[in-house]
Amino acid sequence: MLKTNNISGGLLLDCSAKIGVICTRFNSFIVDHLETGCIDMLQRSSSAEIDVDILKVPGAYELPVVAKKMVVSNSYDAIIALGAVIRGATPHFEQVAGACSNGLSRVATDSGVPVIFGVLTVDTIEQAIERAGTKAGNKGAEAAATAIEMINLMRQV
Ligand code: INI
C-alpha cells in the first residue's frame, strides 16, 4: 500500500512567529521600497502576531555575517535579507553579489533556518526600480511571502 504525504507551506501565517529583516543602506533609494513591500506583505499574510526585527547593514556583502549572528541566537523563525547589487554601479559586482548569495545560502543550510534571498542583482538602476514596486513587482514582498511559506513548511517537517 502506498501512502503519500503532501507537505507544503501555506501563504497565511496563523500562529505567532519572529522574523528578522536585514536591509542594506547601500542603494537605500531602492532597498527602502523593498522593505516597505516586505513589511506590507508580512502584515497582510498573517492572522497571528508576527514580531519583526529590522536591522540595517552597510551593504550586501555584510548581509551574511549578520544573518549568521541572528540564526545562532536561536530567536528567529526566518530571516529575510534585502538589498540591491547593481552592476552598473560597481566594477566588483560579481564579488559582492556572489559573496552575498553564497554566504546567505550557507547560513541557511548550515543552520536549518530559512534565509530568504531578497537581494536584487541587476545590470541597471532601471531594472532595480522595476523590481522595487513598479512594473516587475516588488522583490521585498515576494521575499516576505516566501518567508511565510517556509515558516509554515518548516513547522511540518
Ligand atoms: N553593496 C551593495 O549592497 N550594492 C552594491 O551595488 C554595491 N556596490 O555597487 O559596490 C555594494 N558595495 C558595498 C559592499 O556591499 C560592502 O558594503 C563594502 O564592500 C564593504 O565591505
pLDDT tens-digit series, residues 83-99: 999 998 677 899 999 99
Instruction: Kindly list the protein residues whose Cβ atom lies closer than 6 A to any atom of ligand 1.
Output: 24, 26-27, 58-62, 83-86, 89-90, 96
Question: Which residue has better confidence, 32 or 135?
Answer: 32
What is the second-level CATH architecture of the domain 17-156?
3-Layer(aba) Sandwich (3.40)
Task: Take residue 152 and report the three cell numbers written for it.
Answer: 509554515
Percent of the chain at pLDDT > 70 equals 99
User: Is the pLDDT confidence value at 116 over 90?
Assistant: yes
Ligand 1, atom 15, lies closest to the CA of: 59
This prediction's pTM:
0.96
Ligand 1, atom 4, lies closest to the CA of: 85
> Can you give the pLDDT at residue 88?
83
Query: Which amino acid appears at position 104 of this protein?
Result: L
86-94 long-range Cβ contacts below 8 angstroms, 24+ apart: 86/27, 86/120, 86/122, 86/123, 86/124, 86/125, 86/128, 87/121, 87/122, 87/123, 87/124, 88/123, 88/124, 88/125, 89/27, 89/125, 93/121
Buried b / exposed e over 92-126, threshold 16 CB at 10 Å, is: ebeebbebbbebbeebbeebebbbbbbbbbbeeee
> Can you give the pLDDT at residue 89?
64
Average pLDDT over residues 104-125: 97
> Can you give the pLDDT at residue 110?
98
Q: How far is the CA of 60 from the centre of ligand 1 (A)?
A: 6
